[in-house]
Amino acid sequence: MKIGILSTSKSLYSTKRLVEACVKKGHEAQVINHKRCYMNIASHNPSVHYNGIVLSGFDAIIPRIGASVTFYGAAVVRQFEMMGVYSVNESVAITRSRDKLRALQLLARKGIGLPVTGYANSPGDTADLLELVNGAPVVIKLLEGTQGVGVVLAETRQAAESVIEAFRGLNANFLVQEFVKEAGGADIRCFVIGGKVVAAMKRQGREGEFRSNLHRGGSAELVKLTPEERSTAVRASKILGLNVAGVDLLRSNHGPVVMEVNSSPGLEGIETATGRDVAGMIVEFIEKNARPGKTRTRGTG
Ligand code: ADP
């Protein structure tokens, strides 16, 4: 098969591993920088152009779209779908999961456990918003943030009000969430492929840090999931329509709660912590599922 990996850099760990896994299984792999793709969207013959050539002959693509280029990256994935190329994660599912509010609303509607979460637009509603999530301590998150940047723990009502005021002053979109203290600065990353959790790790924030992000000095180790955690992760990916997803859970007193579902989950942390060949499993999923024209949405949903 000819497999395209949409990624902005060949030297990223995840990209390298996916190329390696494709080649090892006898496939042709090409890294395509989606930021440098251009396309004729009005044509009857949809195509993607890159470096002066028309990209063709692909059996499947693996989108690795960073948060800062979701909009354009999803358009490139959509164009491949219009060409009938199988995408491991479809454009609609990627945009669904990237919009944190939309994703949480979709999960809530299907009864997935979530931290109590509030969102408001008007400055006059701060007090009521804090009430809604049962008051301080609360976690306040910028909607555009990644890797723990823009995630603030406000331990008192006064601190919460100041942070909210500051975010509003910057015209930033944010949400306010119950602080799941009992998680003890740890979260669980479940790596889901094709409706199964294939690897899971527990990430622990460094001493005194409530955020467990590895980029913030957290550490990761293999973890055994409960059946409830496993089914929550699988259901969350399914609800958002993702075949490959990183589902982040917190262990709360009222069971597992989903914090986020990532459509381009990194491979380095999970492969290192679990010793599993996750890249290989993604390629195996493609081998079983990729068919020409097998795109549910054809980029139009
Ligand atoms: P990002 O997407 O920027 O990584 P997250 O929402 O995943 O932001 O938050 C970063 C980290 O902060 C999480 O991995 C988790 O350890 C911690 N955290 C986030 N929300 C909560 C919460 N409501 N209660 C307790 N800890 C939280």
Mean pLDDT of the chain: 93
pLDDT band at 170 (very low <50, low <70, confident <90, very high): confident
Fold: same for 2-90 and 117-179: no
45: pLDDT strictly greater than 90: no
Average pLDDT over residues 258-272: 96
187 lines ligand 1 (CB under 6 A): yes
Q: Where are the domains of the chain?
A: 2-90, 97-113+182-277, 117-179
Cβ of 301 closer than 6 Å to ligand 1, yes or no, is: no
Q: Considering the chain, what percentage of its residues have pLDDT values greater than 90?
A: 77
Q: Ligand 1 within 6 A of 183 CB?
A: yes
Determine which of 12-16, 26-30, 37-41 has the lowest per-residue pLDDT on average.
37-41
pLDDT the model gives residue 172:
87
Give yes or no for residue 66 CB within 6 A of ligand 1: no
- Residue 61 pLDDT greater than 70, yes or no: yes
Give the CATH class of 117-179.
alpha beta
Q: How confident is the model at residue 180 (pLDDT cuts 50, 70, 90)?
A: very high
3-state secondary structure of 58: coil
Residue 42: pLDDT band by 50, 70, 90 thresholds? confident
For residue 297, the model assigns a pLDDT of 61
Give pTM, 2 decimals.
0.94
Q: Does the beta carbon of 245 lie inside 6 Å of ligand 1?
A: no
Burial of 55 (0-12, 13-18, 19+ CB in 10 A): buried
259 lines ligand 1 (CB under 6 A): yes
Which long-range contacts link 148-155 to residues 24+ away (Cβ below 8 Å)? Answer: 148/211, 148/213, 148/215, 148/216, 150/174, 151/211, 153/179, 153/210
Domain 2-90 has CATH 3.40.50.20: yes
Pocket probe mutation, ligand 1, options 211, 248, 257, max atoms within 8 Å of Cβ: 211
Cis bond before residue 256 (omega within 30° of 0)? no
**Do residues 244 and 198 lie in contact, with contact meaning Cβ atoms separated by under 8 Å?**
no
In contact, 246 and 273? CB cutoff 8 Å: no
Could you tell me if the CB of 141 is within 6 A of ligand 1? yes
Window from 5-14, 45-54, 192-201 with minimum mean pLDDT: 45-54
Alpha helices by DSSP H, listed for the chain, are 13-24, 70-82, 91-98, 100-109, 126-132, 157-169, 227-240, 268-274, 278-289
pLDDT of residue 43: 75
- DSSP per-residue letters across 66-132: -GGGHHHHHHHHHHHHHTT-EESB-HHHHHHHHSHHHHHHHHHHTT-----EE----GGGHHHHHHH
Find the mean pLDDT for residues 19-45. Answer: 93
pLDDT at residue 298 in the model: 52
Average pLDDT value for residue range 156-183:
93
What is the Cα–Cα distance from 176 to 153, expressed in whole angstroms?
10
What is the rounded distance in angstroms from the CA atom of residue 49 to the CA atom of residue 70? 19
The fold of 97-113+182-277 is D-amino Acid Aminotransferase; Chain A, domain 1 (3.30.470)
Q: Which residue has the higher pLDDT, 67 or 43?
A: 67
The mean-pLDDT minimum among 78-87, 143-152, 255-264 falls in 143-152
Q: For the chain, what's the residue count? A: 301
pLDDT band per the 50, 70, 90 thresholds, residue 291? confident
192 lines ligand 1 (CB under 6 A): no
Question: Is the shortest distance between the CB of 280 and ligand 1 below 6 Å?
Answer: no
What pLDDT does residue 68 have?
Answer: 84
Q: How confident is the model at residue 215 (pLDDT cuts 50, 70, 90)?
A: confident
Which of 70, 187, 254 for mutating ligand 1's site (highest number of atoms within 8 Å of CB)? 187
146 lines ligand 1 (CB under 6 A): yes
Residue 115 Cβ contacting ligand 1 at under 6 Å: yes
Q: How far apart are the CA of 59 and the centre of ligand 1, in A?
A: 37
pLDDT at site 41:
80
**Which ligand 1 atom is nearest residue 145's CA?**
3
Kindly indicate the confidence band of residue 149, based on its pLDDT and cuts at 50, 70 and 90.
Answer: confident
* Rounded Cα–Cα distance for residues 9 and 290 (Å): 24
% residues pLDDT > 70 (the chain): 97
Pocket residue to mutate for ligand 1, from 139, 151, 204, 258, most atoms within 8 A of Cβ: 151
Quote the DSSP letter at residue 225: P
C-alpha neighbours within 13 Å on the C-beta side of residue 5: 26
Average pLDDT over residues 65-92: 93
Q: What is the pLDDT of residue 144?
A: 77
